[in-house]
Amino acid sequence: MKQTLAVFGSAFNPPSLGHRSVLERLNQFDKVLLLPSYQHAWGKVMLDYEARCDLVRAFIGDIGQLNLELSTLEQQIAIDDNAVTTFAVLEALQLRHPDTNITFVIGPDNFLNFHRFYKADYILKRWQIMACPETLPVRSTMIREALVHNDDITQYTTPTVTTMLMNDERFQFTE
The count of domains in the chain is 1
Q: What is the pLDDT of residues 150-165, one digit of tens each?
A: 999 999 999 999 999 9
Greater pLDDT, 146 or 45: 146
Cis? peptide before 108, omega within 30° of 0? no
Q: How far apart are CA 132 and CA 80, in angstroms?
A: 31
Written as one letter, the residue type at 103 is T
Number of DSSP helices (H) and strands (E) in the chain, helices first: 8, 5
- Domain-embedded: residue 173: no
Query: pLDDT for 61-91, tens place per residue?
Result: 999 999 999 999 999 999 887 778 999 999 9
The per-residue pLDDT for 46 is 85
Amino acid (1-letter code) at residue 26: L
What is the extent of the structural domain holding 10? 3-167
CATH of the domain at 108: 3.40.50.620
pTM: 0.92
